[in-house]
Amino acid sequence: MRMEKTTHTQTSFFRDEQSANSLISDRFGRTFNYLRLSVNEYCNLRCIYCMPEEGVPFRSQDKLLTTDEICRLIETTSQMGVSKIRFTGGEPLLRKDLLELIQLVHEIDGIDSIHLTTNGTLLSKQINSLKDAGLTGINISLDTLNPEKFNSITRGEGLDLVLDGLEKANQSGISSIKVNVVVMRDFNNDELLDFIQLTKENDVTVRFIELMPFDAHQIWKTGKFYRAEQIISDLKKQVDELVPVNGSRTEHHIFRKNGYKGKVAVIPSYTRNLCGECNRIRITADGKLMNCLYSQNETNLRDAMRNGSSNEEIGSFILDAMMKKHKDGWDAQNQGNDNRESMTQIGG
Ligand code: SAM
Ligand code: SF4
């Protein structure tokens, strides 16, 4: 059984169809219209900054949200003003019902865009079906263009597959294509120019991302951390004619090399100076809402649904959780002291 096309609940709790603004807000005046859902914890790679080689204790299938539960959460939040969805993981392309999920979410009123973050290894064969299902944006994670380095960072293989996926994505007509590069000292900081070359002929955004402290082995403490400001300064030294342009909300540092089709962005995901702009709600693969990437507090929406809560009750849990959001990721992190074992437990 799958959902009918959205029926708006007639209470003042949900927005009326005319209202374009999100009803989900916090104490600091931020509003939230972007929902990032992890749909899988498992992955076919083991990136050294993300997962231990042996993996993490993956939850059994029955603990993860079902297709219907994911759609129900998206429908509920869409009625509260969420308009942008991102499916992430683990590796979302390993989830068998992903295509069906995208088709269903595409039908939900109020959802303007559906994005995917993927390691790209399984992309090339699926890209056209994903687009036909309603996918509007894709972020491909790729940290190096060197095959040996690729194998060492991912503890797997498949650079050729990822590059093929990227090429097919460029040909597919999907409107937003981004390449996520976690930049690290003494690993890939010598590849900035090579990555910028990807923007020459293609309208892609290459995003250089700061390493974050979400891995069991804490490799970010080993001197590999490369601060956003330093990345920007090194980019400006190495690349002529980098012109500032506009980007998305977290892409304040965004440039285009003159004459190139695509863009280059730097994302300060560790230094966290863009928290004032945050518009994101995160839900883990097992249905826990997190109001910040760095928060240790979770609201269990899966159990609420399985225990019979109405959509309105679920909506009020979401509102309460977002109201408790801290001013920034530093405050959020200071409230707890355990370190996550992997980004896959949060949904990157
Ligand atoms: N498997 C998919 C992928 O790799 O794109 C989706 C999930 S992955 C957890 C999402 C993003 O999180 C990837 O771009 C990955 O590079 C990033 N990520 C994971 N661990 C990170 C860390 N410790 N610091 C910075 N980014 C990280
Ligand atoms: Fe897998 Fe993505 Fe984590 Fe790499 S970053 S191990 S591809 S989930």
**pLDDT at position 344, please?**
67
Q: Which of 60-74, 149-163, 185-199, 242-256 has the lowest mean pLDDT?
A: 242-256
**pLDDT at position 74, please?**
98
Cα 316 to Cα 17, 19, 45, 181, 313: the distances in Å are 19, 19, 37, 37, 5
Name all residues whose Cβ lies below 6 A of ligand 1. 43, 49-50, 88-89, 91, 117-119, 141, 180, 182, 209, 211-212, 214-215, 343-344, 348
Whether residue 5 is predicted with pLDDT greater than 90 in this model: the reply is no
Q: Is the pLDDT higher at 12 or at 192? A: 192
> Residue 243: beta bridge partners?
256
Whether residue 9 is predicted with pLDDT greater than 70 in this model: the reply is no
Q: Which residues contact 174 (CB under 8 A, 6 or more apart)?
A: 127, 130, 131, 135, 136, 137, 138
Q: Which protein residue has the closest C-alpha to ligand 1 atom 4?
A: 119
Distance 279 CA to ligand 1 centre (A): 19
Give me the architecture of the 8-345 domain, per CATH: Alpha-Beta Barrel (3.20)
CA 210 from centroid of its chain's CA atoms: 14
**pLDDT at position 28, please?**
94
Mean residue pLDDT of the chain comes to 88
**pLDDT at position 57, please?**
80
344 touches 41 (CB < 8 A): yes
Q: Which residues contact 17 (CB under 8 A, 6 or more apart)?
A: 8, 109
Q: Hey, where are the domains in the chain? A: 8-345
CA distance 45 to 256: 31
Cα 147 to Cα 124, 151, 184, 272: the distances in Å are 18, 6, 17, 31
**pLDDT at position 249, please?**
63
Q: What is the DSSP letter of 215?
A: B
CA distance 68 to 153: 35
Cα 335 to Cα 196, 213, 301, 322: the distances in Å are 38, 16, 21, 16
Tens digits of residue pLDDT in 212-230 = 877 666 666 677 888 899 9
Q: Please, where are the H alpha helices in the chain? A: 67-78, 98-106, 123-133, 147-154, 159-172, 192-201, 228-238, 301-306, 311-323, 329-334
Q: What percent of the chain has pLDDT over 70?
A: 86
User: Residue 68, Cβ neighbours under 10 Å: how many?
Assistant: 13
**pLDDT at position 212, please?**
85
Tens digits of residue pLDDT in 238-293 = 988 899 998 666 667 899 999 999 999 999 888 777 788 899 999 999 999 999 98
Q: Is the pLDDT higher at 165 or at 7? A: 165
Ligand 1 atom index nearest CA of 344: 9
Secondary structure of residue 318 in the 3-state scheme: helix
Q: Which protein residue has the closest C-alpha to ligand 1 atom 20?
A: 50
